[in-house]
Amino acid sequence: MHRYIKDNACSEGKENCLLSMSDIMRVWQDRMTRIMYLYIIASFAVEMILMFVMNVRNTIEIPLRSYVIFLVLFPTILNLGCLFIWIWMRGRWKDNQARLNYYSIVLFSIMLSNLIIVHCIFPIVYGVLVIPLFMSIVFGNLHTTKRCFHFIVGLYVVDMGLVTLALYPYHLTESYIFNMIISFVMLPVGYLIVKYIVQTEESRAQLVLQRSVENAKLRAEVEVDDLTSIMNYSGFFRTLDESVTRWKAGKTLNLAVLDIDFFKQVNDDFGHDAGNQVLQRFGALLTDVSSNRVCVARYGGEEFAIIFTDMNDNVADRILNYLAEKFASQTYDGIDRQITFSAGITNYEEGMEPRDFFRIADRALYISKRNGRNRITRQ
């Protein structure tokens, strides 16, 4: 297919999907930061409440000072350390989403392992490390999930070693050993579930991407002028609407409207085949200057348009002048006269509606025609 179809299929398919995923990951990282904050606050509050209740009931088995240091302050400091490391990583590796995704799970897993060690007498906490494993689903990347699983398994083994030392020999009952084993089994089972979910999501995302590209190609084919192989009326005005919508203050957006001079006379004097030859030649010239920032279209019989995005006014004017010189120098089979075009160009201003933007450029074209044609007017 020609350049319009190729460029639109790429820009509206994979590129936009990747950009959207990057934005989603940044939102997730913001939420992960809030989760860490809330977890630290909640953990500290619960520990303080437990300490107060146990102190009142006189059920604390170790000195109060040791309880405060090892079961309140030390875990809180470790959690805060993980949070500060996470904030530092986000600032340092903001362009490396894959690394941030992995370390968000690593640091949150370390924070949860704190809970296991501090509350090891409650077997139910042994299974909390399966939580970050399931959280990795949001990344939609099996490699990241696998790395997280390996880290969590290693962390669990370390935690269970510390718990065994803490409970041995008086509290290390068969029930606790059984719960440790069950909790350990939960990790590979959880990983298999997560793996199948991620694989399913990857397949679904690939299908969505493929359909997006196919739809973009199909739409491009529908919006292509058969004679000149550039955008037609519907494609032009859709692109104009999108260009105005995406416009931001400080950016430039120029619209040029072009009309082949005395084209009706060419058809009357030399026939429609000769007129088609002129249109095709002009379409080929426009295609040569088209790019990601220069969008060309035929929106009427001998009427054409160019949208210049993020391009200096002088550069846009030079392109129009180049086209005028190049087109005027063309020779055609069976046509014994020079053929030129007139054009009007204008710069987008904030608040303009797309149709108003077009009307101003069209008015500039009318001025060019009124002043003798074969000229370009900027308004």
Q: Are residues 244 and 207 in the same domain?
A: no
| pLDDT greater than 80 at residue 301 | yes
Q: What is the mean pLDDT of residues 76-86?
A: 95
183 vs 163: CA distance, rounded Å? 13
Q: Bridge partners of 309?
A: 253
Q: What is the mean pLDDT of residues 327-352?
A: 93
Residue 37 domain-assigned (yes or no): yes
Reported confidence tier of residue 234, pLDDT bands at 50, 70, 90:
confident
183 vs 153: CA distance, rounded Å? 11
Reported confidence tier of residue 20, pLDDT bands at 50, 70, 90:
low
Q: Are residues 206 and 244 in the same domain?
A: no
Residue 225 domain-assigned (yes or no): no
Q: Would you state the pLDDT for residue 21? A: 65
Q: Where does the chain show beta strands of DSSP type E?
A: 253-260, 294-298, 303-309, 341-347, 376-378
What does the mean pLDDT of the chain come to?
Answer: 87
Of 164, 181, 211, the one marking the end of a domain is 211
Asked if 320 and 340 count as a contact pair (C-beta separation under 8 A), the reply is no
43 vs 22: CA distance, rounded Å? 31
Alpha helices in 11-57 (DSSP H): 16-57
Residue 227 domain-assigned (yes or no): no
- Domain extent, residue 59, equals 3-211
149 vs 141: CA distance, rounded Å? 13
Q: Are residues 262 and 305 in the same domain?
A: yes
Q: Are residues 126 and 82 in the same domain?
A: yes
Q: Are residues 181 and 50 in the same domain?
A: yes
Tokens for 13, please give them: 């398919």
DSSP 8-class letter at 14: I
Give residue 228's identity as a one-letter amino acid code.
Answer: T
Residue 220 domain-assigned (yes or no): no
- Where b means 16+ CB within 10 Å and e means fewer, 348-364 reads beeebebeebbebbbeb
DSSP 8-class letter at 129: T
Reported confidence tier of residue 256, pLDDT bands at 50, 70, 90:
very high
Listed residue (124, 126, 129, 115) closest to 72, CA to CA: 115
Residue 226 domain-assigned (yes or no): no
Per-residue pLDDT tens over the stretch 187-211: 999 999 999 998 888 888 788 777 7
Q: What is the CATH number of the domain that holds 292?
A: 3.30.70.270
Q: What is the tally of structural domains in the chain? A: 2
Of 180, 211, 242, the one marking the end of a domain is 211
Q: Are residues 48 and 149 in the same domain?
A: yes
Residue 344 domain-assigned (yes or no): yes
Q: Are residues 319 and 196 in the same domain?
A: no
Among 44-48, 56-60, 67-71, 212-216, which stretch is predicted with the lowest mean pLDDT?
212-216
Per-residue pLDDT tens over the stretch 121-140: 787 888 899 999 999 998 88
pTM for the model stands at 0.55
Pairing of strands 376-378, 294-298: unpaired
Asked if 105 and 132 count as a contact pair (C-beta separation under 8 A), the reply is yes
337 vs 334: CA distance, rounded Å? 9
Of residues 250 and 330, more confidence is placed in 330
Residue 65 domain-assigned (yes or no): yes
DSSP 8-class letter at 307: E
- As a dihedral over the C-alpha atoms of residue 108, residue 110, residue 112, residue 113, rounded to 10 degrees, the angle is 160
Q: Would you state the pLDDT for residue 25? A: 83
List all residues 6 or more positions away from 125 whose beta carbon is below 8 Å from its beta carbon. Answer: 115, 116, 119
Reported confidence tier of residue 226, pLDDT bands at 50, 70, 90:
confident
Residue 252 domain-assigned (yes or no): yes
Q: Would you state the pLDDT for residue 70? A: 86
Q: Would you state the pLDDT for residue 154? A: 94
DSSP 8-class letter at 136: G
Cα four-point dihedral sign 340, 341, 342, 345: negative
157 vs 292: CA distance, rounded Å? 54
Give residue 103's identity as a one-letter amino acid code.
Answer: Y
